[in-house]
Amino acid sequence: MGDTLWPLGGKEEVAMPRGRWEGTVFKRRRYWEGAISLGGQRYWVTGKTRGEVVEKLRALVQRHEMGQLAPPTRLTVGEWCREWLQAGQTRWRPSTLRRREQALSPLLERLGQVRLAKLSPVHLLRALQELATAGVGSRTVQMAYDTLRAALEDAKEMGVIADNPALRTPRPRHEPREAQDWGLEEIRRFLRVALEDDRPLSWGLALMLMTGLRPGEMLGLRAEDVDWDAEALRVRRAIVWAGSQWHEGPPKSRAGARTVALPRLAMEMLARLPRDGWLFWSGERPPRPSAISEAMASLCQRASVPRRPAHYLRHCHASLLLALGVDIKSAQRRLGHATAALTLDVYAHHLPGQERAIAEALDRALNRGREAGLL
């Protein structure tokens, strides 16, 4: 039996196989959407084309007739998310687990008691709008959405729910707050103040600026990781804080295990450190995150530069690489990113003043063109 189509308020009603069930297909701005009622439940699907949506609706009908469609469940959004996080303890790094717990927290305050099977795009959209109205940062709202979407997608894959309502909810836009980046002179001032400080942790922050290491990678450095002959560092471990304790493990990704060439200034600094044990801390435990933040704030104040978190030093290093004309693949390897796309997406920023340098370079190129009679 072929599809029977007719207009219905700007939508198309589709007769499903054997004529027992009917679904509705309609066009959104960038995708197609379909809906169908089966067993007293309303199911939604999306696709890039109308044909893809029709096939998904047919698949739902077939699963319903075979008794394979997820039945209504009394599980709440909060209960499912807690189960999802608990299952993630064996799959994710402790820091990843902690980050996802924190990301979900503001949404679960508003949606935790909603029945999972009843969760709709309207519920989610309203909760996201409430977070934004309450002054929650746009990046935090976006991370909350992304994490819940992932949790719901796993629920769909496991047959707990038939469809992921987050896929039909627009992803919140992240609108970075205007914050002036450090210029080259400010970077130099910070580095000078950090190197003049007599605390190893301050030198660790200086090394982050000179190498682009993550804070956890800096804390994970031992004396034997320095290759004095090659003037390089081997990044082989990271120490990260996961809510209540430190965890030692491999770098964030496979690409994070890398060798980083060192400038002469960094080699001179490392030569002043002990040749055994951890490079930038001693004792039984690493410094707490608050100690790192306090050291960073103190150095920023003494260098008269805008206060930034320690991870910003990695951003500074990446910006320096790109401003110096280092190709993106080399920058990717030095920063330990899994892909060059990530390097471009996160760190493709110019240092202040680079726009003027670009304009002057264009002037020089165009003037040579004029002299050659091309313009």
Q: Collapsing DSSP states into helix, strand and coil, what is residue 244? A: coil
The per-residue pLDDT for range 248-301, each reduced to its tens digit, is 888 877 888 899 999 999 999 999 998 888 999 988 888 888 899 999 999 999
Residue 5 has pLDDT above 50, yes or no: no
Q: Collapsing DSSP states into helix, strand and coil, what is residue 130? A: helix
Q: What is the pLDDT of residue 21?
A: 59
CA 202 to centroid of chain Cα atoms: 27
Residue 90 has pLDDT above 50, yes or no: yes
pTM (two decimals): 0.58
Categorize the per-residue pLDDT at 354 as very low, low, confident or very high, splitting at 50, 70 and 90: low
Q: What is the pLDDT of residue 10?
A: 45
The per-residue pLDDT for range 319-337, each reduced to its tens digit, is 888 778 888 888 888 988 8
- Lowest model confidence (mean pLDDT) among 134-148, 208-222, 293-307, 356-370: 356-370
Residue 349 has pLDDT above 60, yes or no: no
Categorize the per-residue pLDDT at 243 as very low, low, confident or very high, splitting at 50, 70 and 90: low
Give the list of residues 6+ apart from residue 21 with CB closer than 8 angstroms, or none.
36, 37, 38, 61, 64
Residue 142 has pLDDT above 80, yes or no: yes
Residue 125 has pLDDT above 70, yes or no: yes
Residue 371 has pLDDT above 90, yes or no: no
**Strand arrangement, sheet containing 232-235:** 226-227, 232-235, 258-261
The residue that leads in pLDDT, 179 or 104, is 104
Residue 226 has pLDDT above 90, yes or no: yes
Comparing C-alpha atoms, which of 130, 134, 140, 266 is closest to residue 204?
266
CA 306 to centroid of chain Cα atoms: 24
CA 176 to centroid of chain Cα atoms: 14
Residue 28 burial (10 A CB sphere; 0-12, 13-18, 19+): exposed
Q: What percent of the chain has pLDDT over 70?
A: 81
Residue 117 has pLDDT above 60, yes or no: yes
Q: What is the pLDDT of residue 356?
A: 59
Q: What is the pLDDT of residue 3?
A: 34
Q: Collapsing DSSP states into helix, strand and coil, what is residue 12? A: strand
- Rounded mean pLDDT, 142-171: 88
Q: Could you tell me if 246 and 286 are in contact, meaning their C-beta atoms sit under 8 angstroms apart?
A: yes
Average pLDDT of the chain, as a whole number = 81
Categorize the per-residue pLDDT at 7 as very low, low, confident or very high, splitting at 50, 70 and 90: very low
Q: Which residues pair with 278 in a beta bridge?
A: 222
Residue 206 has pLDDT above 80, yes or no: yes
Angle separating helix axes 328-335 and 312-323, nearest 10 degrees: 160
Give me the numbers of helices (H) and strands (E) for the chain, helices first please. Answer: 14, 10
Residue 343 has pLDDT above 50, yes or no: yes
The residue that leads in pLDDT, 30 or 52, is 52
Q: What is the pLDDT of residue 2?
A: 33
